[in-house]
Amino acid sequence: MSALGPASRRLLALTVVLIAAVPMVLAPNRVALAVDGEVREVEAYAATVGEFLARHHIDVALNDLVLPPTDTELVDGMTVEVMRAVPVLVYVQGSPRTIEMAPLRVADVIDALSLSHVPADAVTPPPSSPWQPGIVIRVSVPLDVTVTADGDTRSFALPPGIVADAIASAGVQIGEHDFVTPALDATLGSGMSISVTRVAMDEAVEEIPLPFQEEVVETADLYKGDKRVVQEGQEGLQVDIYRVTTQDGVEVARELVRTEIAREPRNRIVHVGTKARPVAPTVASGSVWDQLAQCESGGNWASRGTYHGGLQFHPDTWNRWKPAGYPQYAYEATRDQQIEVGKRLQAAQGWYPWPHCAHALGLL
């Protein structure tokens, strides 16, 4: 046999390599394929998990989960699992959120929602729990809120809920007219301040005096210039009733509800005389009575003091001896009226009511 040249030797070496390689490429891998929990054994002629799935026309969506990952080398006896993404419901602080994914554990969902900072005890079921279809995941971080009512402020760490839950935790009773800020159905938020304003509606009574009028009645039973009060006046009384609204004890509104007249005013009635006064007889000037008046009062018929008039009558003496219709006081009477009363007194008692001046005039 002749020796082989260099080119022949290279061709022979390549042929040997190819013959040796053919059994390795063509030898299939037996793989357990699980799709959505359904497992079947298949022969795989592929280098990677992704190529294997493509050869078997298994489409993988963006949120589907493939284990091991698609770039993993495919080996004999491997199990390839495809989990389809499904809607996963999560309540975060009481508000529902849905995410499309194929989780293995509850923690996968928490991470996907960027809630990995949430304490583990705020997640139900615990993050380490395996995810099962149909479970509901809740994330409830206690909220710091304050409740102010009746002058007292209290702080609470509460689970998610509404303002009414915080009011209940504080043990505060809400009256019919009270109002709460924020509203009772508002969602709680961390750091929220809740205030209860007490609203009271009461009645207030205001009394208003009603002035009386004066009635003047002319009467012939009295002399002109004389007056007599026959009925004293009395104020009436009006009662105004208000609805008063207060907030935390401070009045904010006042509304007139009704008005009642508790007492009608009673008018003052005054009788004014129209009867002409009696006229005293005229006494000539320079009479003894003028002389007596000159001595008693310096001739001042309007003199007033302890004794009144020109003849210096004491008020009691004047009223005892004056005729009906004469003025109440002597200084109000005319000269002739005073002389007429003096004559009546002198007729009964002589000149003794004027002892000093009567002696001086030689009348005694």
Q: Which fold has domain 279-360?
A: Lysozyme (1.10.530)
Mean pLDDT of the region 77-102: 89
CATH C-level class of 25-83: alpha beta
What pLDDT, on a 0 to 100 scale, did the predictor assign at position 20? 42
**What is the bridge-based pairing of β-strands 137-139 and 86-92?**
parallel
User: Under 8 Å CB-to-CB from 36, ≥6 apart: which residues?
Assistant: 82, 83, 84
Q: Which fold has domain 143-197?
A: Ubiquitin-like (UB roll) (3.10.20)
Does residue 215 carry a pLDDT above 70? yes
Domain-by-domain residue ranges, the chain?
25-83, 86-139, 143-197, 202-273, 279-360
The widest CA-to-CA distance across the chain, in whole angstroms, is 213
**What is the bridge-based pairing of β-strands 86-92 and 79-83?**
unpaired
61 and 85 in contact (C-beta within 8 Å)?
yes
Per DSSP, the three-state class of 219 is strand
Per DSSP, the three-state class of 355 is helix
- Beta bridge pairs of residue 42: 31
Angstrom CA distances, 327 to 37, 225, 319, 341, stand at 132, 9, 9, 11
- Taking domain 202-273, whether its CATH number is 3.30.420.40 is answered by no
What pLDDT, on a 0 to 100 scale, did the predictor assign at position 28? 83
Rounded to whole angstroms, how far apart are CA atoms 289 and 286?
8
Mean pLDDT of the region 321-348: 93
Fold equal for 143-197 and 202-273: no
What pLDDT, on a 0 to 100 scale, did the predictor assign at position 231? 96
The model's pTM is 0.47
Mean pLDDT of the region 170-177: 93
**Average pLDDT along the chain:** 88
